[in-house]
Structure 1
Amino acid sequence: MIQIYHNPRCSKSRQGLQILEALNLDFEVVKYLDAPPTEKELAHIIKLLKITPMQLVRKGETLWKENYKGKDLSDKELIKALSEHPKLIERPIVIANGKAVIGRPPAQIKELF
């Protein structure tokens, strides 16, 4: 099953959704702000993305700057912060066929198919 971790208020996320629709694929929309991924789910997504937890962080968010920036956080602590504050997760994330990609730019989503 193809999944897109989607924030309807984000233009890049909306563009990612449009790409999947244009490819005429069956997919599940995960509104991760409404139902945040668990730490275990995030660890799995990070593994599929082949990145570090820090690479999944939206460092421009005020929440990040005020609460986490400049702190020496372990990967486990970063994953916990992302789970507790899903607004900090880069988006959109598309998962398909045991692989994942962050849709920034959204055209990267096509690389999965």
Structure 2
Amino acid sequence: MLIIYHNNSCSKSREALKALTKSDEEFQIVNYLEDIPSVVELKNILQKLGCKPHDLIRTNEKVYLEKYKGKELTDEEWIIAMHENPILIQRPIVVNGDRAVIARTDDALDEIL
């Protein structure tokens, strides 16, 4: 079953959710701002994405600009920052088994289906 890490305030996330709804795939919605991924979950997502923690950070968010911009954090510290401030996490993330994508485009979503 697919999992979408979703933020209803984000148009890209709403578009991905709409596309998943139209597909024949079963999926689970995780409203990650309310059901915050644990540090372990974030590490698993990063492994499935094949990216570094900083690659998953939304650098235009107010909390990033106020607390993290220009700072050199370790991978572990970035993961903790995302756990403590989930608004920093890129969205939407769609997980299918051992793979995941940041589904901001139709092509990215097609790649994971």
TM-score by length of 1: 0.96
Match of 2:93 in 1: 93
Match of 2:109 in 1: 109
Cα deviation, residue 80, structure 1: 0.0
Letter in 2 for 1:110: D
Match of 1:18 in 2: 18
- Aligned-pair RMSD on alpha carbons? 0.9
Same amino acid, percent of matched pairs = 42
Letter in 2 for 1:55: D
Q: For the structure 1 residues 64 and 106, does the alpha-carbon distance in structure 2 shift closer, same or farther, using more than 3 Å as the test?
A: farther
Match of 2:3 in 1: 3
Question: 1:62 and 1:107 mapped to 2: Cα distance?
Answer: 29
Cα deviation, residue 31, structure 1: 0.3
Cα deviation, residue 25, structure 1: 1.4
Query: Where do 5+ consecutive residues of structure 1 fail to align?
Result: none
Match of 2:59 in 1: 59
Match of 1:80 in 2: 80
Question: 2:6 and 2:20 mapped to 1: Cα distance?
Answer: 12
- Matched residues, number: 113
Cα deviation, residue 23, structure 1: 1.2
Question: 1:107 and 1:11 mapped to 2: Cα distance?
Answer: 16
Question: 2:6 and 2:82 mapped to 1: Cα distance?
Answer: 15
Question: 1:58 and 1:72 mapped to 2: Cα distance?
Answer: 15
Question: 2:106 and 2:67 mapped to 1: Cα distance?
Answer: 29
Cα deviation, residue 35, structure 1: 1.0
Q: For the structure 1 residues 7 and 106, does the alpha-carbon distance in structure 2 shift closer, same or farther, using more than 3 Å as the test?
A: farther
TM-score by length of 2: 0.96
| 3-state DSSP of counterpart to 2:70 | coil
Cα deviation, residue 18, structure 1: 1.0
